[in-house]
Every structure is written in C-alpha cells, then in structure tokens.
Amino acid sequence: MKVSINTWVYGAKAPIEEVFKNLNAFGYKGVEIPGSDKEVNWDAETRQKVKNLAKKYDIEFATVCADTGLLNPALKRNINSQNPQERKDAIAHSKKGIDLAKDIGAPIVVLCVGKTEPGQTEEMALSLAVESYKELVPYAEKKNIVIAIESFPDRWAGHYSNLVKLCKKVNSPYVKGLIDTGHELVMNVPLDKAVKILGKEYLAHVHIDNNNGVIDDHRALNDGKLTPEDFKKFIDALEEIGYEGWYSFELNGKDLDRDPDKVVKDSKEVLDKII
C-alpha cells in the first residue's frame, strides 16, 4: 500500500522542506501538491528545487491537485460554466496543473467539477463538462498525465454514478474519477459503494479523510463519524477491485487550528492499525 498526503495540512505558508522532512519522519512515501495559482506558476528553478527536496527526503509525487476555483470562487473558473470565458480559464488552469505534474513527476492531476449554475440542468452541466474535458484529453495524453475528476456533495456530479457517466462520455483512459471518503460520508453513501460504482476502470485516485457527517472539513481519521471499521471496508473494497494507486490523506490541520503534526501522525496510526 502506497500512502501519501496533501501538503495542505501544513498550510500554504509552511516551508516545503520542513513539510517533506516531517512527512518522511512520520513514514509517508508520497505527497500531493496543491495546484493553486502559486504552485502552477512556479518557475523552472523552483520546480527543480522541489524535486530535489523530494528526493532528499525519499518522497514521491502522487498528484497535483489543480484548483479550478474551488477554494476561491472569485477566480470564476468553472469547467462546466455556461460562460465560455470561465470554461476557458478553467481549462487553461487545468493545463498548467498538467504541466506542473509532468515537470515534477506526478502521474495524476486532480481536477474538480464545477458548481451547477442558476438555470443550469444536470444534463447541461454534464454536456459542458464533457466538452471541456475532451478539450483537455489531447494535452493530458501528450504529457502522459491522467486526469482524476473529483466531485463534491453539493455539485451536479456529486453521486458517483454521474461521475461514471461523465467518464464514459469523455471516453478516454486519461480521464477517470476520484473517491473522497469525506464526501461519501456527507452524502450518506457507504464507503465501499462508490468503489463498486466506479470500479477499477474509472478509478484513478482516492482521498481519505473524516468529518462529522455534515460539514466536509477534512478532519483526521480519528476525528469524525467514520470508524476504523468503515475505513477497513473501504480498503477491502479497493483491494477487491484491484486498485493499485495511492491511498492519499487530504487533511485539514492549520485551517482548523489543529496541530498539523498531530493530524498527520494520528491519521497514519489509524491506517497502520487497519492494515
């Protein structure tokens, strides 16, 4: 089992070397790099520095999580927007995320579906998303980077059957889905059900986190409604379909006023006991 974690847990201002050093000490072998405007615009020197630090601390890059407006709606980047400019900007940012993934050696870029807009039906959102992702496919294929689409409980593709529908319509091995355990909890979906819906064919990556069942705030594995038994069922389901990717923690530490080291350590200990 390959275990990684998103560096978001330490906050945006944490020195990258300090983050890698801590993660290595806690036994993590991989990291997810956020793909905000800051990271996707790193110059060549910074990208090489980050690669060198990862090598120094025996860390692999699992993904780049390119933010297409999720964390900052004011950016007006929406992959399924009815506004052509917003879709264009989302696609442009996604390509920057793909470039960053290629440059640092991450095999996957995580992209998010957009919110359903006023007056927009689910089918309209699906159609525009398919159009956008089809435009990204040749670029991702050229760079040999798989797109893992992440949806959210409040979005049109929240249910994983819609995510499968999207992947089927795009019809490319470079476009697959992502499962987030916290999202499943908020939607009251058993952790193993989404695995069965996506299956090996359409599952590229997983995010593991916990919450109170209402607010998707990405807590440590021992800080929420999900139990070790729930996570065990999830892992068993993944193994049953032959999932070979990263088991990646996407945890909120700094922004919840929690000690990031404790969040990182506690979550790893929960997983270690399960496996």
CA distance 267 to 270: 5
**pLDDT tier at 116 (50, 70, 90 boundaries)?**
confident
pLDDT of residue 39: 95
Amino acid at 238: L
From start to end of the chain, where are the E strands? 2-6, 30-35, 60-66, 108-112, 146-150, 175-180, 203-208, 246-249
User: 185 is in which domain, residue-wise?
Assistant: 2-274
Between 87 and 70, the more confident residue is 87
pTM, two decimals, is 0.96
CATH number at residue 107: 3.20.20.150
State mean pLDDT over 73-88.
91
To the nearest whole percent, how much of the chain has pLDDT over 70? 99
> Nearest-CA neighbor of 140 among 248, 64, 246?
64
Give the chain's domain count.
1
CA distance 110 to 71: 14
Token match 């139990």: residue? 227
Mean pLDDT computed over every residue of the chain: 94
Q: Quick: pLDDT tens for 148-168.
A: 999 888 888 778 889 999 999
Is a pLDDT exceeding 80 seen at residue 177? yes
Q: Quick: pLDDT tens for 35-79.
A: 999 999 999 999 999 999 999 999 999 999 997 766 677 788 999
Is a pLDDT exceeding 90 seen at residue 256? no
Q: Out of 57-71, 87-101, 209-223, which region has the weakest mean confidence (pLDDT)?
A: 57-71
